[in-house]
Structure 1
Amino acid sequence: MAAKYKTPGIYINEINNLPNGIAQVETAIPAFIGYTEKAEFNDNSLINKPTKISSLTEYINCFGRGFLAKCNLLSNKIANNGQEAVKINGNNYIIDFANHQKAYMYASLKLFFNNGGVACYVVSIETYQNKDNIVLDNEKFVRGLNLLETQIEPSLVVIPDAVNLSKIGCYHLYQKVLQHCSNMKNRVAVLDVFDGFKPISSQVITEFRQHIGSLHLNYGVAYYPWLETSINSKNDITFKNINLNLSELSNLLPEEAAKILIEEFINESQPINGEENLHEALLILSPSYVLLIEAVKKVLNILPPSGAMAGIYAMVDQNKGVWKAPANVSLNSVIKPTIPISNSQQEILNVDATSGKSINAIRSFVGKGTLVWGARTLNGNSNEYRYINVVRTLIMVEQSVKNGLEPFVFEPNDANTWKNIKSKIENFLLKLWRQGALAGSKPSDAFFVNIGLGVTMTANDVIQGKLIIELGLAIQRPAEFVILHLQQQLQNS
């Protein structure tokens, strides 16, 4: 309707000749599901409430810190899963978690932020504050996963504590996660191999492929092996992390000075910070205690890689773009993979001729550190959805275009609307092509947008209110195999 002017003067009307552009959606905002120390902010419970945070400090304020895990001392004749034995008082012991003592959520969040993570969602399904153990419940994980159906922003799903369920429970949950991602169509699952700290020869890879299922593999990516990290420092570990009372610890340690100190601590009234002072004194008086603390620290620092990989995704997306493969990238706060992987072993991970379930290797290279050395989805036999950056780029384009076209709902289904829509999408894809997301020497080689009567729609489609758009994209694929042909030129006589 034309404006009505009643007062003499000069009036300016700004005419917008360019339609609003399509904004690129966020691509690396993971949702972490698991057990936390607490779940409260401003006296409001955060249990089963997806909560967005932007820093580790914010996580600590809302969800607390890590679980005080306890480790058993086992005779190396009883249990030896490849751990190094620690020699105390002439006896060799293997350090391993006591039952129901594992919780990887807090450590995985630290890995996420240390490796480039910026923001994420946290779904606390239960708290462990003032509890001596954690009994995991598969149904609580599924309930937390279902809560993400109402959240549009998360683009990754990470459940570090899934590996602490039983083997069957873990893979049952993984199947639920893949189904969830397929239903939502705007996120992918970053999965850990169950018992991924064990060598390939222990059948962990074979079991992963057998139990993960065969559905929705486009939406999953897995990494192996687990990581030996530096997340927990020596200052984070005390005798409280050893599943012995003080009398048992005194009997274990051979140093007489340590025995006397512990005995005095037990018999006398304990001052403020008494346990901390006892720990510091034992570090000075007992070399055996130092060895024990170091061994416990090493066990607590063995972590599944999903949290670190979520951070790598965020870092690569921020610096290069979602279309760049998150591979050939070093990991922070990581000492080395728990299992060294050779080229021949990576062939087993990379290619599975039967099922196509590729598993990405994390490898250590001399002079380079620990690198992510793979970027395949679980659907490794698919030519279209083999690479995780291709899948995530497609998701980004689909969601961005979907959001950008919402203003056209209930607009006239005519040529003017089709022209505006095509212009918006082409401008968006042209920008992506210039950034390097799409392959092709010119835009027409990189993408096409088709829309219109007789092109993508029939007259009956228009009558029924359908507006159909056809997009074609040439997404960049990583140079996974760089092959050099060398020829030696002999000197002419």
Structure 2
Amino acid sequence: MTIPLAPGVYVREVPSGVRSVIGAGTSTPALLGNTATLKTLRTPVLVRSWTEFRTKFFPTPADAIGALTSANEAYQAAARKRDEIDATFKRASDFSADSNYTSATSKKAAQEAWIFAVQVANLAYSLGYKTDDTKKTMDDASKVVEASKAASFDKDAFTTSISALYKNIADQKAKGWAAGEEAVQKAAEAAADAVTKLEKDASRTVAEQLREPLEAAEKAMHDAKVNASVRDHLALVSLAEVIDIVVQAFKGYDDKWCLGEAVLGFFANGGSSCYIVPLEITNTTSTFEGSSADNTGLAGLEKVSDVSMVVVPDLHLAASENLSTLAAQVVAHCAKMRNRLAILHTVPDLHAEDACKFKDGLSLGPRTDLATLYYPWLKVPGMDGKARTVPPSGHIAGVWAATDASRGVFKAPANVSLAGATGLTTTLSDDEQAGLNAAGVNCLRSFPGRPLMVWGARTLVDPSDRDWKYVNVRRLVCFLSDSIRQSTSWAVFEPNDEHLWATLRQSVSAFLKDQWRQGALQGATPDEAFHVVCDASNNPQVLIDRGEVHCDIYVAPVRPAEFVHFSIQQTAGQAV
């Protein structure tokens, strides 16, 4: 602290040392399913509106032609690089060393060589090559500069070094540094021709006619072995795949796919943003696993930390013998991530007793507390405006998100109206729902004078397991766990002593007290709602020696009033 010399009042700010726990997000689902742009877009993508989703995954003909136009622009930009590439290699191959270098002329030649080497490196970077790919060029240029500055100038050494620099650059073309430039040039011409023809006549017939030339251009690029990193850097997407999207946009999309209506239902019911995970789901699909390296499928979704629900609107398209296995993969993913639940649905056209049999036929593994099942299907206006039936899972995700925003994750997402649907495929009676509810199947109901309602909030855990029977309890504990985990990473490698324990107790207790005030925990006082233990009683020396600190948290979540009973008795006017 600086010692003041002038008389006066001095104020300094001192950090409080308080560590806060911030609530994690709970309102973002991931929807997995078939998309029209699967060939060009396979990784999880965050979308914030229906329009954004439609443009990226189910484009209209105008959107698809716009994608082709963007691809054409990328190819034209790549083609313009050809002149720069040719000029670079021509200069390198035409170089001839001066046989009479002097100390003075070598410095000028070295400066020109250095500038040329930098230009080559910049060109390589603009094409998508990594720094390591041009390291030798810059190392050679450094040797040229060093040779020109040597205290005792050696003409032969300098001539050898500068000749080697230019030769190595010239050799890069033969080694494939600019492989496929001819193919890229022809692909650019084919793309430009395709855009011109579609601008004159935007029709399915013209799009079909363009398949052959664009597929041929793509094959030529493949045969020429155009560097993959160059293609990625210059956004040279597959022209064959893009024209396929254009044709499909004119043709219309598979009416068995339900992802589009699920996303529409999500936003209609109050959802604000969701991740789309493109997958091909057909009767031959046997896995959703994907690839972590390619960032696809459930493996790619593991890298997205803010997802709290997983929905597969096209799950029913899988073969019946694979359906349970695929659903189990989704639940296993939720168990691995520990912060999300699966929203499942039945297959279509089931009666109430068949829905119970369907649920009984699911084998989801040990973590059924992380799975929910909704029934029946909904009647909705489809993406094309025509009436169709779809699973309710996307709409339910929107209800969960809206309930989280309006009340909190602790509120059961039930007794809530369902938007974006005109009816149910099956109207249930109280007796029919009784059996379904006991089995953990959440029902959608239609009551006289009321809109369609979500009328169930249970997980698929065994009914005897009272801890995780309700969706809101399971989601609340996931929320608490995720929030504490994310907000206490500062504690790692801190001194493991009473000061750390007290700070953890204070942080977690303050967070839980705030949740109690909001109504997430039951009890008349905070002491009745939660209890946090982090002291010497659960952190003995043996744990400290192992580098561990334990914080035990006990909470009393609120549970929904699922059955409300009133007793009415006649009193004949007498006081009770």
Q: TM-score range by the shorter chain?
A: 0.7 to 0.9
Note if contact 2:459-2:470 (Cα within 8 Å) is conserved in structure 1.
yes
* Equivalent position amino acid for 2:445 in 1: R
Higher relative strand content: 1
* Equivalent in 41, 45, 49 of residue 51 of structure 1: 45
The one-character-per-residue Cα deviations of 1:306-346 (angstroms, maximum 9, x if unpaired) are 00000000000000000000000000011121101111111
Q: What residue in structure 1 maps to residue 420 of structure 2?
A: 333
Q: 1:451 to 1:461 in 2, by over 3 A?
A: same
What is the CA distance between 1:7 and its match in structure 2?
8.5
Q: What residue in structure 1 maps to residue 555 of structure 2?
A: 473
The one-character-per-residue Cα deviations of 1:410-454 (angstroms, maximum 9, x if unpaired) are 11111111111111111101110110111000110000101111x
Note if contact 2:359-2:441 (Cα within 8 Å) is conserved in structure 1.
no
What is the CA distance between 1:480 and its match in structure 2?
0.3
* Equivalent in 263, 267, 280 of residue 113 of structure 1: 267
Q: What residue in structure 2 maps to residue 388 of structure 1?
A: 471
**Quick check: 1:307 aligned with 2:394?**
yes
What is the CA distance between 1:491 and its match in structure 2?
3.6
Distance 1:409 1:225 in 2: 47
What is the CA distance between 1:5 and its match in structure 2?
6.3
**Quick check: 1:400 aligned with 2:483?**
yes
* Equivalent in 425, 449, 456 of residue 367 of structure 1: 449
Q: What residue in structure 2 maps to residue 344 of structure 1?
A: 431
Higher relative helix content: 2
* Equivalent in 310, 335, 343 of residue 157 of structure 1: 310
What is the CA distance between 1:136 and its match in structure 2?
5.4
**Quick check: 1:178 aligned with 2:325?**
no
Secondary structure, counterpart of 2:30 in structure 1: strand
Distance 1:340 1:184 in 2: 36
Q: What residue in structure 2 maps to residue 459 of structure 1?
A: 541
Q: What residue in structure 1 maps to residue 100 of structure 2?
A: none
Secondary structure, counterpart of 2:481 in structure 1: helix
Distance 1:157 1:361 in 2: 19
* Equivalent position amino acid for 1:57 in 2: T
What is the CA distance between 1:461 and its match in structure 2?
0.6
Secondary structure, counterpart of 2:422 in structure 1: strand
What is the CA distance between 1:61 and its match in structure 2?
2.7
Distance 1:108 1:229 in 2: 10
Note if contact 2:328-2:364 (Cα within 8 Å) is conserved in structure 1.
yes
**Quick check: 1:60 aligned with 2:54?**
yes
Secondary structure, counterpart of 1:32 in structure 2: strand
Distance 1:123 1:14 in 2: 48
Distance 1:210 1:39 in 2: 31
Note if contact 2:332-2:365 (Cα within 8 Å) is conserved in structure 1.
no
- Percent identity between the two aligned chains: 32
* Aligned residue runs from structure 1 range 218-229, under 5 A: 218-229=369-380
Secondary structure, counterpart of 1:420 in structure 2: helix
Q: What residue in structure 2 maps to residue 37 of structure 1?
A: 36
Q: What residue in structure 2 maps to residue 489 of structure 1?
A: 571
* Equivalent position amino acid for 2:34 in 1: Y
Secondary structure, counterpart of 2:279 in structure 1: strand
Q: What residue in structure 1 maps to residue 22 of structure 2?
A: 23
Secondary structure, counterpart of 1:228 in structure 2: strand
Note if contact 2:352-2:436 (Cα within 8 Å) is conserved in structure 1.
no
Distance 2:52 2:486 in 1: 29
* Equivalent position amino acid for 2:351 in 1: P
Q: What residue in structure 2 maps to residue 141 of structure 1?
A: 288
Unaligned runs of 5+ in 1: 68-98, 127-133, 238-296, 353-357
Distance 2:396 2:352 in 1: 21
Aligned residue pairs total 376
Note if contact 2:522-2:528 (Cα within 8 Å) is conserved in structure 1.
yes
Secondary structure, counterpart of 1:160 in structure 2: coil
Distance 1:25 1:192 in 2: 27
Unaligned runs of 5+ in 2: 62-252, 291-296
Distance 1:15 1:61 in 2: 51
Q: 1:476 to 1:440 in 2, by over 3 A?
A: same
Q: 1:212 to 1:407 in 2, by over 3 A?
A: same
* Aligned residue runs from structure 1 range 215-364, under 5 A: 215-232=366-383, 236=384, 297-298=386-387, 301-352=388-439, 358-364=440-446
